[in-house]
Every structure is written in structure tokens, then in C-alpha cells.
Amino acid sequence: MDTAERTNLVTRFTEEVVTESEIESLFEEGTPSAYIGYAPTGEMHIGHFTTMRKLADFLEAGIEVTVLVADLHAHLDDEKSPFELLDARSTYYRTAIEAMIEAAGANPDGIEFVRGTEYQLEAPYTLDLYRMLAETTLSRAQRAGSEVVRQSENPKLGGLVYTLMQSLDVAALDADIAYGGIDQRGIYMLSREILPGHGYQKPACVFAPLLSGLSGGKMSASEDESKVNLTDDDETIAEKIQGAYCPAGEVADNGVLEYLRYLVFPVLSQDNRSFLVERPEKYGGNLEYEAYEPLEEAFVSGELHPADLKPAAAAAIAEVVDPVRERLLDEPELLADAYPETHG
């Protein structure tokens, strides 16, 4: 595979790449490394799944991928996860992540897993962090983390330390590429700004789009109806998709189309399978799509109606999520230990 092909794999279906020429250079120089971090807070959902799906592209492009389970971060961000639950949630996250990567058609064995507390509790990490704390203003750190860290009336110091820690994680994990949702942009731009001053390389960045919620607007992890959970069964998924905001002909804020574009079609294409829409004869009969683009065109033109698309989308999404749910429910203690209040 040449540099152009590899670069294309890395940059396809992304929101932003900083910068494409830096990615190309990395491929020219050798085997690049990339990392993505997840703070083990609430239960994982389909939004995580789409960023995870993209890791298959990274692996195929020959990149060394590290997944950070950022347990300390989960507590530093307004104590989203109680300190006592960090072990259980880290275990659950790792299992869920492996299941998603496998469901996306990639091999999780090719990925290195690291837990934050494995390296964040001692020098040189701590010393670098203290020095960065000394030279970063409150407002700079606040601005960098504003899209990631929970904003509240009485913000804790932890949120600001969180931001600087994540800026440093890229270097600590020796990653050439920082990958994450576009909400992470502020933090990695801070990385690019301050890491060179500490003897580290500034990372290239790849940002994934954030999915729209099913109820319109941004997806909210706390609103159960606005997203598909990894533990939702086929029927629940069908109900959620059925209730989703999905105006005919409109692509903007359309969560159903986004799920198809970023999750369903990439997974189907691995096996050269197509997407079937069953439609009553009175509306023209069944439709079949080999790629997302023609489906979107049909939707925009009005040829494909939301009422026909929704059941087909629900079935396809359920098929992708099924193995992940099976895996998680196969070890019920994973969820019970991580979320004793809802699964205990």
C-alpha cells in the first residue's frame, strides 16, 4: 500500500485532519503510531462505536494503535466515576472496546491497551505535568478543555489538571497521531503548542465527527432516547430508530443517516455486502444500496422515504451491535460491578 492509499484510509470519514501533509510525512518516515483515549465514565454507546470502527482503518493502514483507558481522567472530570469504581469500569471499558473493534471487523490483538494509572503516577510524567501546570494560565487550560470537561457553576481544579494531563498523554504514550472526536480539538491543539517546549514532538491530529442525537441536535450521553446503547436489543433499537428525528430529504442533524454513514456502511463494505431497504409495492418496491452516497442522494431527492429507511436502518444497526451486546451480557458481572446502581 502506498502513502496516498494509507493516508486516504486514515483521513476518510473524518471531521478534520491536522495536518494531512504531516500524516503523509509520517508514512514516508516509517511506521507511525496513533492513540485514542477513553475515560471510563458512563456506559459506552454507539458514538464510541463509530470512533472505534475507524481504528480498523488505522490498523489496515499499518499504524501501531494504542488505546488508553484513562481511569484517572474519569475521576478528575467532576468525579464522573467514583474513585472506588475505577477498576471495575476500566475492566468493562476494555472488554467493550475489544468487542466493538472485533464487531467492526478488526483484530483487537493488534491493539495495545494502556491504563492511565500505569504511568501517570510517577516521573517523568508527573514532573512534566507540574512544569506544564506552572506555565499554563487558568484561562488557557479552561478554553482547551471546555468541550470535553464537564462545565459547572463551581468547577473543580481536577478539570484543568485533566486537560493538561491529556495534552501530555500523547507524548507519554509516544504517539505520532492523536485521534479522537472533534470535541477533543482544543486539548490536542494545546498539545501541539506546549509539547515542543518540553522536548517532545508535536502530534498530528485526526478528529472524528460527533454523531447527532436521535432526538435532534447533539447526542446527549445522558439522554437514553437520543442514542443507541451497546446493550440495547433489536427491539429496543427498532423503537429508538423509529422515534428518531428524521425529516424527509434533510441530511443535517439526521442521526439515522449518520449511523448508516459512519458505522453500518463501513462495516458492510468489509464483506462487500449491500444495504437492503424493504419497501411496499405501493411505494415502489425494495431498494438496495452498495454505498452510502447513493442512499443519501435518494433520500435527499425524496425517492427514499424515512418511513421505509428507518426499519431497514434499525435492522442493520442491530446486526452490528448484536455481537457486542452478546459479549457484554455474557459476562454480566462486568456491568454489575461497573454500574452497581443500574446493573447491580
The C-alpha cell of 256 is what? Answer: 439515522
Taking alpha carbons only, the member of 288, 286, 270 closest to residue 278 is 286
Pick between residue 216 and residue 294 the one whose CB is nearest to RNA: 216
The C-alpha cell of 33 is what? Answer: 503510531
Pick between residue 90 and residue 254 the one whose CB is nearest to RNA: 254
Residues of the shown chain interacting with RNA in the complex, contacts defined by CB under 7 A: 154, 215-216, 225, 242-248, 279-280, 283, 305-308, 310
Q: CA-CA distance, 107 to 258, in Å (whole number)?
A: 24
Please state whether beta strands 177-181 and 33-38 pair in parallel, antiparallel, or not at all (unpaired): parallel
- Least separation in angstroms between CB 154 and RNA: 4
One-letter amino acid identity for 175?
A
Taking alpha carbons only, the member of 292, 258, 262 closest to residue 277 is 292
CB 215 within 8 A of CB 225: yes
- Least separation in angstroms between CB 196 and RNA: 35
Pick between residue 130 and residue 283 the one whose CB is nearest to RNA: 283
Q: CA-CA distance, 127 to 96, in Å (whole number)?
A: 33
Pick between residue 63 and residue 314 the one whose CB is nearest to RNA: 314
136: helix, strand or coil: coil
Pick between residue 65 and residue 237 the one whose CB is nearest to RNA: 237
Beta bridge partners of 220: none
- Least separation in angstroms between CB 305 and RNA: 3
Taking alpha carbons only, the member of 220, 221, 283, 273 closest to residue 248 is 283
- Least separation in angstroms between CB 265 and RNA: 19
Residues in the chain: 344
Please state whether beta strands 16-18 and 204-208 pair in parallel, antiparallel, or not at all (unpaired): antiparallel
Pick between residue 225 and residue 326 the one whose CB is nearest to RNA: 225
- Least separation in angstroms between CB 1 and RNA: 40
- Least separation in angstroms between CB 69 and RNA: 27
